[in-house]
């Protein structure tokens, strides 16, 4: 009973009708859940923030604020307008920037990173928030699968020098994985770009922190 | 396509027509996701819900879902349910969504769901379609759990790891590690090991069938001597 004839107009109309009905329902659900999904992502991101700011060893509690990212830097970080970075403050003073950064050079689409940088420009930690790299190969960038990502800790833009900010296959210092070079290369290059962003903006961020801590000193 | 089967029995989906063990459908999630019991449970439950939803809606719309364009219509309905499931998992179980990753959206490509939509849901009333989806989905979930438990226990040396992704914080101390901490058997953690394991499970099922139910497949009746073969068209009930 397989139908061999070409679809007629009423069948196309039915397909269109079902597509419209389904499109409406899915869009409605998307709107209903959007807020909740963003909230879940934020709370998961907060867990990551605590991982990338390191243990709270100095006594005073660390608080987080969202600060805007200048539009001219969005391209470098792979972000879109309205995305913000997080600033960790201790006693009102900014001590670290946690910068979201997205690489589109991965093997399976966007790799979302969170890069924690202290105000001397050194990396505290890097974490992969989401990725679609190959299971068993590229997924070693996750802290749950391997400690490869810890190789960035304490590194800065000058340590190693710029030309060594690459995977070993490209003459740098960072390991690639057997059978997977594209994924670690994408992460290394994106982390370097994020450090560059921070180097460009550090003065402005520190100034904003000072003026926030002493509001009366603001002009 | 087969004509609607009037003596359809839903229970067959659990054993005789098991979607994976017999029909070998839905292997991709089975091999990729079942590294732990928690992942298997998560994906199995989401698949069950998507299967139930798509079967019921296909059954509701079954008068519209025919003709040359029925396949794109079924795929649209299934994809819609998968999208809804993904949105809900991300909204209410975000860590689980992260653990399952791309395999939640990939449920849309699970042939079990399209198979049930096409062969059962669009040909039967809602009750039958819902029952069939529940049975098939439970059978799929059960096998995911078996494979997930074996792979986690013998591949990583633990059981009930990451159950908090599904049950929340009370499940954090459910982890059971019978072997010592460094034990791993890499092959079982990889899809190739899952494939091997599935082969053994299918062999076990076939063995049980031939051992427990030797009479279930009686030999074809011999034609009575002297009778002529009669050619029939259509179906005789």
Helix (H, G, I), strand (E, B) or coil at A84: strand
Q: Do the beta carbons of residue A138 and residue A183 sit within 8 Å?
A: yes
Q: Which residues pair with A65 in a beta bridge?
A: A87
- Average pLDDT along chain B, 237 residues, taken 10 residues at a time: 52 77 81 86 92 92 84 91 92 85 85 85 88 90 92 83 77 75 72 90 88 62 59 57
H or E stretch including A57? none
* pLDDT above 90 as % of chain A: 31
pLDDT at B111: 83
Higher pLDDT, A145 or B128: B128
Indicate the DSSP class of residue B1: -
**Over 60: is that where the pLDDT of A219 sits?**
no
What residue in B sits closest to A22 (Cα-Cα)? B80
Q: In what order do the strands lie in the sheet with A111-118?
A: A62-68, A84-90, A93-103, A111-118, A123-130
Inter-chain Cβ pairs, chain A and chain B, closer than 8 A: 72
Contacts of A30 in chain B (CB under 8 A): 87
Residue with tokens 């590294």: B35
State the number of CA atoms in the 13 A half-sphere of B47 facing the CB: 35
Q: What is the pLDDT of residues A66-93, one digit of tens each?
A: 889 988 889 999 998 888 888 888 877 8
Higher-pLDDT residue of A27 and B187 is A27
Q: CB B73 to CB A41 under 8 A?
A: no
Please answer yes or no on whether B91 and A130 come within 8 Å at the CB atom. no
- Nearest Cα of chain A lies from the Cα of B101 at a distance, in angstroms, of 7
Would you place residue A129 in the very low, low, confident or very high pLDDT band (cuts 50, 70, 90)?
confident
> Could you count the other beta carbons within 10 Å of the beta carbon of residue A57?
5
Nearest Cβ partner for B94 among A7, A44, A108: A44
Which of B5, B67, B103 is the best mutation test for A, with the most CBs of A within 10 A? B67
With CB atoms and an 8 Å threshold, state whether A130 touches B98.
yes
pLDDT recorded at residue A31: 92
Question: Which residues of B touch chain A, with CB atoms under 8 Å apart?
Answer: 1, 3, 32, 61, 64, 66-69, 72-73, 76-77, 80, 83-84, 87-88, 90-92, 94-95, 98, 101-102, 190-191
Rounded to two decimals, the ipTM of the complex is: 0.71
Pick A15's closest partner by Cβ from B72, B90, B191.
B72
Contact B80 A44 (CB under 8 A): no
A36:B92 CB<8 A: yes
* Closest to B62 in 3D by CA, of B128, B144, B143, B161: B128
Average pLDDT of chain A is 84
* A170-215: pLDDT as tens digits: 999 999 888 788 999 999 999 999 999 999 999 888 888 777 766 5
Say if residue A135's pLDDT is above 70.
no
User: Which range has the worst mean pLDDT, A39-43, A101-105, B179-183, B189-193?
Assistant: B179-183
Higher pLDDT, A217 or A108: A108
SS3 A31: helix
What is Dmax (Cα atoms) for chain B?
Answer: 74
Which of A15, A19, A26 faces B84 most closely, judged by CB atoms? Answer: A26
pLDDT band at A218 (very low <50, low <70, confident <90, very high): very low
Q: Closest approach of chain A CAs to the CA of B32, in angstroms?
A: 8
User: Tokens 């769901």 map to which residue?
Assistant: B113
CB distance B151 to B35 below 8 Å: yes
pLDDT at residue A121 greater than cutoff 80: yes
Q: What is the pTM of this model?
A: 0.69
The pLDDT, as a whole number, for residue A146 is 84
The partner residue sitting opposite A14, judged by closest CB among B64, B98, B191, is B64
Hey, of A136, A142, A144, A145, which one would you mutate to test binding to chain B, going by the most B CBs within 10 A of its CB? A136
Cα dihedral A180, A185, A191, A193, rounded to 10, equals -160
Higher-pLDDT residue of A150 and A48 is A150
């Amino acid at each position: 009973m397989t139908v061999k004839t070409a679809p007629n107009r009423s069948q196309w109309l039915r397909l269109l009708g079902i597509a419209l009905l389904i499109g409406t329902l899915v869009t409605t659900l998307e709107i209903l859940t959007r807020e909740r999904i963003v909230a879940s992502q934020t709370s998961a991101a907060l867990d990551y923030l605590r991982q990338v700011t390191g243990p709270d060893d100095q006594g005073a509690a660390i608080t987080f604020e969202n600060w805007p990212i200048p539009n001219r830097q969005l391209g470098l970080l792979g972000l879109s307008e309205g995305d913000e970075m997080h600033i960790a403050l201790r006693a009102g003073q900014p001590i670290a920037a946690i910068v979201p950064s997205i690489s589109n050079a991965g093997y399976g689409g966007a790799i979302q990173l969170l890069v924690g940088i202290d105000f001397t420009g050194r990396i505290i930690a890097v974490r992969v928030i989401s990725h679609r790299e190959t299971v068993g190969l590229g997924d070693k960038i996750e802290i749950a699968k391997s400690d490869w990502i810890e190789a960035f800790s304490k590194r800065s833009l000058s340590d190693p020098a710029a030309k060594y900010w690459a995977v070993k296959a490209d003459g740098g210092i960072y390991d690639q994985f057997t059978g997977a070079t594209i994924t670690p290369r994408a992460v290394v290059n994106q982390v370097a770009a994020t450090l560059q962003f921070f180097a460009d903006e550090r003065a402005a961020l520190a100034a904003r922190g000072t003026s926030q801590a002493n509001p009366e000193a603001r002009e | 396509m087969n004509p609607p089967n009037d003596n359809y029995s839903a229970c067959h989906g659990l054993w005789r027509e098991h979607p994976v063990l017999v029909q070998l459908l839905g292997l991709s999630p089975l091999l990729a996701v079942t590294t732990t019991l928690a992942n298997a449970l998560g994906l199995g439950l989401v698949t069950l819900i998507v299967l139930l939803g798509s079967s019921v809606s296909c059954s509701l719309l079954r008068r519209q879902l025919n003709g040359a364009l029925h396949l794109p219509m079924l795929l649209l309905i299934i994809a819609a349910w998968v999208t809804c499931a993904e949105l809900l998992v991300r909204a209410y179980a975000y860590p689980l969504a992260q653990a399952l990753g791309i395999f939640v959206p990939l449920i849309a490509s699970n042939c079990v769901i399209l198979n049930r939509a096409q062969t059962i849901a669009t040909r039967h009333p809602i009750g039958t379609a819902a029952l069939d989806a529940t049975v098939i989905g439970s059978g799929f979930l059960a096998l995911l759990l078996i494979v997930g438990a074996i792979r986690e226990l013998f591949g990583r040396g633990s059981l009930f790891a990451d159950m908090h992704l599904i049950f929340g914080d009370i499940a954090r101390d459910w982890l059971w590690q019978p072997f010592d901490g460094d034990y791993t058997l890499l092959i079982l953690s990889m899809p190739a090991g899952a494939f091997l394991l599935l082969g053994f499970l299918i062999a076990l099922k076939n063995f049980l069938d031939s051992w427990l139910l030797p009479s279930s497949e009686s030999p074809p009746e011999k034609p009575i001597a002297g009778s002529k073969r009669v050619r029939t068209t259509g179906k005789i009930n």
